Each structure stands twice: as structure tokens, then as C-alpha cells.
Chain A
Amino acid sequence: MTRPPLKRLGAILTLFFFAMSAIVVRLVFLQVRDAEALQMRGESQRMRTVPLPAMRGAILDRYGRELALSLEAQAVYADQRYVTDPAAEADKMAPLLGVRPAQIQQQLTGDGGFVYIARQVDQSVADKLKALELPGIGFLRESKRYYPSGALGAPQVVGIMGVGSTDAYDEARGGLELAFNDVLSGDDGQKQMEIGRDGNPIPQGVDIITPPVAGLDIVTTIDPQLQYQAQLALEEAVNSNGAKGGTIIMMDPKTGEVLAMATYYPTGKKKDNLSEVDRTSNPAVGNVYEPGSVNKVITASAVIEENKVPLNEVFHVPDSYTTYGYTIHDAESHPTERMMLGDIITHSSNVGTILVAHQLGPDLMATYLAKYGYGQVTGVGLPGESAGLLPPRYSWSGVSMANLPIGQGVAVTPLQMVNVYATVANGGVWTQPQIVKGTMDAAGTFRPAEAPAQRRVVSETTARTVTGMLAHVVSSGTGTAAEIPGYWVAGKTGTGKVPDPVNGGYLDKYVASFIGFLPASDPQIVIGVIIDQPTTYIYGGLVAAPVFQQLGKQAIARMRIPPGEHPDFPPSAMHGR
């Protein structure tokens, strides 16, 4: 009997032992030391995370119609390393993308890897491009912003989305897009999935979706029809008067809701092209101007509220007034007139207003300018709002009481000035202007915005008295061009001078304005028309008041405003003249 081959068996056993040991060591390396790194490497090879961008909320008008909305779109990119024939691929893509083939070919050529070919491509176009199955061409989901009403849909109020740091159109620029960017943006989600070798998801593989949370819709106070009419009327007025530009604001005086906010500064470029409309700034809240005679309503209401001037007190008003070497004229030359306060406002006498203001005194003048909101932002919620320029009381000179009461030496935004008239129309209560009614989520749940701030500026009696004066302005004063047959309109003309920023003083340029409301007895709407530097006529009564009349008629029809009662006109010393 032969003995077992112990040596051979021992050798095999030893070899086997070392082999097993090597495997164990390798396993320890793989399973313990490198486990995490290998796991991550494996996941990176088969796991793909696709961003799910949140759909940006829409901006709606007061009736829930879209002023701005987002739709899904695709970004087309190329991985240059996998592009086989740049020229041929460019020829196929160019007609669909509407660009020159050479431009695309340049983007496709190289070995740099990822490069965007086109952003925010409509889904239909992207589908056609996908069908071409071009090597090296890929697609990424993103959203595209649309503004259906174009340049006539309150572009400065709505704002615009621009190209941000990530090369996408995700940067809010101006208007509500910027002011409410956090609310509109929502929260992006993501989809984690396991990808097979062919690049398709493994049906039973990992599929984790963190759904995006869509942004909230912003419901504005804009009435689309009034906005459209305001925009058209403004363009017509600016163009026909050879003006630099202009602004129209329409407000509900009781709620402070801005119904329309139109701005037009022609650039000489096609207006319907969105890129040619400056949506990033809003002169209605960002630009300031010297209001001129529309400011006299503050002087008048202050002296009435403070009982400084009886309504039947007669002033002897010359056509010019000189103080500290500074002479102020009335708009038209006239002999010294006997005027009551109502006459002074009706005929917009600068000299008469200064005489009245002297009864008030600078401290009260400063107080009422501030109470009406001068020197403070209104808080309407639009970006870039200016507080205006109201000289602090301590800096007033002797001339200040000669120019501030007539709207010189002070600068306001169009919205601030229109809100002064809204205050009078609202019975003397200043109401914070509102451009956003609230937000609405995807389920259609509406959450109203905070109630606007309010404060009483003058008594209801004072407001009613001033309204009578303003109605007299339209019926027989400087604002007759704003008269609407059958309605009592209250308003005031203004012709402000344009300051010379270089040499000081004033340029030979003017801002013509008319701000009023109707019906005078129960105001439903305030309309402010401000035409910047007209070249045909300079007076608000000739340039802006007709625009007010046109818009007033359309607002009456649109809002079904009934005629009101006859307002109480102030006593006059000029009857029969």
C-alpha cells in the first residue's frame, strides 16, 4: 500500500491557503477599505440625477389672465467629442433652430466637450431635433417665459427674465418678476434613476423622484383692457406731441389698486419686439419730476384743513410775485385779479397759491407735503421705487415758500403724485397703492396680499371741498379739455419745469400733466396723465387733459360707472368776468 503524497497535498493545501488568503485580503480591500469609493463609483456609472426645474409661477391680471407664464422648453447642447460630422449636423439643425449653419458648425467643432447650441427651444422644435438622432447632441429640460400681451401688457410692471449666471434665462430683471422672484420661482426637484448600458432607465432600478414645487402665481390689480387703452392713448399722445415720453396711471382710490400703469419712452425701435422694450425699469415709480401746478391741491387742502384761509376770503392777485430776487409769474399775463381760494385753484394761479401758502406757513406746508407721501416710497411693491426729493424743512430758504406750494423745488414720482389725488378722492385718507392682489397656488387657492396701509391726511369735509374746487377746474378752469359730457370730473392741470442738472436752474422744457378722478361725487377711478417734454404745447390742459378725457370715457364704459351728483363748487369772486 502506497503512502499518501503528503508533500504534494501539503503544497496544494498551502497554495490553496495562500490563494484563499489573497482572495480574502482582496475582499477586505474591496469590501472594507475601498467599499465607499467603489460604491460611489458604481453609482456614478449607473445612477443619473436629472434636475426637475420648478415651473415658475404666472403673473396674472385682476381677472386671472396671464400677463406672463412659463412653458416647458428644452436646451440643446452638444458634446463635441461625440459629434462625428459637424458640418452635416449643423446643416440639419440650422433650419429648425432658425440660425445659420456656420454658427452651429462652429459650436459643434472642437474637443472641448459640453457646449450649448440653443436655449429655451420650443418642445415641438426639440422633438424634431431629437428625431434626427444626431450623435453628440443632447437635450436638457428647462422652462421658457412668455408674455402674451407683449409690449402692450404692462411690460414695466411685469418685468422680464434675463440670462443669469448659469447661462439660463433664470434671472429676474425688473418689475414683478424681480420683486416677487422668490414667490414665483418655487423649489426645483430632481429625479434619481438607474441607467443601463444603453442609456435608458432600468425599469425596476432605482427611481427616486423629489418632485419640484411650482412657484405661486401672482395676481395683480391690472385691468388688461384699461392697461391696453392707457398704453395706446399714451403712445398716441407722446407721438402726436413730439414728447420725450410719458406715463399714465389709473387707480381705484378706495382700495389703492393700480388698474393700469403705462409708460412709453420711444426708442425709435419696433415696439412690439420685446427685446426693444425696456422692461427693467419703471419710470412710473422710478423717475421723479417736478409736479408743477398739480401740487397746488396740497396747498389748498392744507389751508382748508388748518382753517387758515376762509373759502370766501378775497385775494388781490397780480400776475407776478418777487421774493428774494426770484420772480414767479402766472401762466398768462393779467391785471391784478380778485380771487378766492377756489378761483386760485380753478385758474391755477401761481401767485395766488403763494399768497395762500404764506397764510399756511412753511412748517405746515412741510407737514402736509410729508403727510401726502412726499419724500417716502409708497411701498407699492415694485422694484426701484424712488422716494422722490423733498428738501428737509431745515434746508428751506426764503424762496422755498414761493416755489414748493406751486410744485417747484420738489420732485415726486408719477405714482406719488397720482396717489395725492387718490387721497382726496378717498375722502382724505391716504391709501398705500397696491399692484398685487395676492398669490394663488397650483390648486387655485388664493391668498390675498396684506391690506394696504392707510392714514388720514385731511378730513372728509376738506376733501369734499377740494374736490369741488377740482371739479370747477374741469368745468370752467384750466382743465376743460378733460370734461366728459354727463359726468362731473374733478382734476387739475400741471405744467412742471424740467431742472437743468448741469447748470442748475431750469431748462426750457416742461412736463405737462393732468390728474383727476370721476365721478366727482363718488370717485371710482383716478387717472394721471404725465407727458414728458412735449414739443407742440407745454400746458397740461392742452396736452394731458384730452388724454384724460379719452381714458375717462373708456373707463366709464369698462367699469360701468354711473354719473354722480353735482359737486359743491367753491365760492368765487370771478363769476361774471
Chain B
Amino acid sequence: MSTPARQVRARPASKPRARTTPSRKAPSHRSPSRKAPAKRAPQKPPLRVVRPAAKRKPVAFYVMAVAVVGAMVFALAATNVLLAQGAFRMRALAQEQAQLRQLNGELRLNVAGLITSNRIAQEAKRIGLVFPDVIEVVHKNGSRELTGSSIGSPKPARISTSPRPGGTE
């Protein structure tokens, strides 16, 4: 931080005073050996150093600046951490999604296999079901009452002679 420039102020002529501090660059500083001019120039008021008015140190400013910068750094770090956490979590979720998708596919395949006509027919055969030899049709008249007329005669399904494993009659 640069220091404030000295302020030089003219002193009234009626009250000459000795300089308290020499100044090399002051225009009134002359060598003692030099002669006085023939015609005395109007005397310039001697210069003096004026102390700047005492200022309070901007402590609050420093504190606030540090706080703001600190908060920003913290926010940046926190954001970074959150982003990293989010990225890791997204990756984990993506993996979980892939696993669940795979599981869904396997279950879908499993279901597709279970509902095939071939498997159902085999299972039906295993428990003794047979396709009926005669088709039974119950006619219905316009009044929505069952007439009871039918074609063919009912015939019980043949039961497998081998007992169903673990099954109940």
C-alpha cells in the first residue's frame, strides 16, 4: 500500500519559523555559500510537513474481506465436494440401474418361459389334465336364459396314475 503524499502548505510571512526537518527537494533549500540575490525576491513561506490526519485502520474491511473470500473458498470447496459426491452417486446409481435392468430382463425371460404353451401343457399333463374329447356348448337364447341344451356328453378327464409329487388330492 502506498503512503500518502506529503502535503506542503505555505506559511504566512509574518510568522517565520525554523524548519523542523530538512528537505532535500524543497525549493527553498539553498546552499549557504550562495549569495543572496541583489533584489530580494518576495520571501516564500517556508514549507512544512503536514502530518496526515490520523485514520482508523480498516480492520472491519479486512475482516469482512477475509470472511467473504473464506466463504467463497468454502462454498467452492463445498460445491466441489457435492459435485464429486453427486458424480460418485450417479455412477453408483447407474450401476444399480444396470443391475436392475438386467434382473428385469432375466425375470422377463423367466416369465416368458413359464407362460409358454409347451410348459403349461407339460405341467397340465403332469397333474393329469387332458384335452376334452368332446366339445360342450351351452346355448343361450335371446332372453339371456340358459336353455340347457348342449352338444356332446361330458366326460371326466383322465387322471394320471402317477401321484403328483408333493401335491394333494
Contact = CB atoms under 8 A, between A and B. Distances in A.
Interface of A: 65-66, 69, 71-72, 123, 146, 148-150, 152-153, 201, 203-204, 207, 224-225, 227-229, 484-487, 553-554, 556-557, 562-563
B3 interface: no
B135 A66 contact: no
Given A69-B108, A71-B102, A203-B91, A225 B137 contact: no
Contacts of A563: 137, 151
B99 to A, nearest CB: 9
Contacts of B83: 204
11 contacts: A71-B102, A71-B109, A72-B101, A203-B84, A203-B88, A228-B117, A484-B135, A486-B137, A553-B135, A556-B135, A557-B135
Contacts of B152: 485-486
Contacts of A123: 102, 106
Contacts of A66: 108-109, 112
Contact of A72 (B105, B118, B132, B135): B105
Given A123-B102, A148-B116, 9 more contacts: A69-B109, A71-B102, A72-B101, A72-B102, A204-B84, A227-B117, A487-B135, A556-B135, A557-B135
B125 to A, nearest CB: 12
Given A204-B87, A486-B135, A149 B108 contact: no
* Interface band, chain B: 20 to 34
Given A71-B105, A486-B135, A149 B117 contact: yes
A362 B132 CA distance: 48
Interface of B: 83-84, 87-88, 91, 98, 101-102, 105-106, 108-109, 112-113, 115-118, 121, 131-132, 134-135, 137, 139, 151-152
Contacts of B87: 203-204, 207
Nearest to B115: A65
A546 to B, nearest CB: 14
B116 A153 contact: yes
A562 to B, nearest CB: 6
A553 B91 CA distance: 57
A563 B101 CA distance: 48
Contacts of A65: 112, 115
B118 A149 contact: yes
Nearest to B131: A554
Nearest to B102: A123
Contact of A562 (B101, B105, B132, B137): B137
6 closest A-B pairs by beta carbon, nearest first, are A486-B151, A228-B117, A203-B87, A148-B112, A71-B105, A66-B112
B135 A152 contact: no
Contact of A152 (B108, B117, B132): B117
A65 to B, nearest CB: 6
Given A203-B91, A485-B152, A228 B118 contact: yes
B135 A150 contact: no
